[in-house]
Amino acid sequence: MKKTLLTALICATTTTSAVFAQESATLSITGPSSWVPGTSITLSVQDTYTNLGGSYGLSYWLQVDTTVAPFLTITGLTHFIWPGYNGPFPILFDPITGIETVDLGGSGNLIPDGSYHVTDITFGLAANAAAGTYTLHTTTMNPLASIQTDHNFNDVGIPQASFVFNVVPEASTLALLGIGAVGSGMLIYRRRKHRGGATD
């Protein structure tokens, strides 16, 4: 009797947790964190979702600090799971909001719950981008809220995913700056020395 009751309790608990299982979806962005002006950089986007009964796709947009937005473009997209936007490129970031203008997600067949490498995003960073630390993140506000589509075509909100990157001058540029600084220093030193000699 006790055994039967225990079994029934376990079954009820399992069923209840299955019924009330929380739908969730997250994105993670990975790639190089040091970006050199005048080059291309590719980031990978991993999509993980659970308790959706599968997904038909996702929508997400990226936002970046407005200071670097005019110098950043998206020059290519590779979709691995669901087909999505495939041009024209480049995609620009709005200089006022810092948000790019295209849904970077895709849609298509029902793909079971799991974790998938969904997209590679290639960025172009202009040669005159200022050095600094910047953050790219997915959008969460309507109508550009990033969402995963569940098996009933309902939206499941995707919490903000962030990626921090540093814009660093190229090594040769740094070397040139160094040479310039040393040269200027030497010039100032020689002038001071010359001036000092003249007064003696």
Partner 1 sequence: MLNRVNGSTNFAIPMSILIGDTNGNGTVNASDVSQTKSRVGHAVDGINFRSDVNANGYINAADVSIAKSSVGTGLP
Q: Where along the sequence are the contacts to partner 1 (CB under 8 A)?
A: 56-59, 61, 82, 103, 105-108, 142-145, 147, 149, 153-155
Nearer to partner 1, 37 or 80 (CB): 80
Least distance (Å) between residue 149 CB and partner 1: 4
Residue of 164, 136, 121, 137 lying closest to 34 (CA atoms): 164
CB of 143 to partner 1, least distance (A): 3
Shortest CB 47 distance to partner 1, Å: 11
> Which DSSP letter does residue 38 get?
T
Q: Which is nearer to partner 1, 37 or 157 (CB)?
A: 157
Going across the sheet that includes 155-157, the strands are 106-111, 55-59, 147-149, 155-157
Per the CB < 8 A criterion, the answer to whether 163 and 43 are in contact is yes
Nearer to partner 1, 98 or 129 (CB): 98
| Nearer to partner 1 (CB atom), residue 34 or residue 142 | 142
CA dihedral 156, 24, 101, 163 (to 10 degrees): 160
The answer to whether the CB of 35 falls within 8 A of the CB of 73 is no
For partner 1, give the closer residue by CB, 134 or 137.
137
Handedness of CA 59, 94, 140, 137 (dihedral sign): positive
19 torsion bin: left (phi>0), alpha (psi -120 to 50), beta (else): alpha
Opening angle at CA 145, ends 142 and 148, nearest 5: 140
Structure tokens at 156: 């499941």
The least distance separating partner 1 from the CB of residue 27, rounded to whole angstroms, comes to 13
Output the smallest distance, CB 172 to partner 1, in A.
41
Written as six digits, the tokens of 199 are: 């007064």
**Toward partner 1, which CB reaches closer, 121 or 147?**
147
Query: Least distance (Å) from partner 1 to the CB of residue 5?
Result: 43
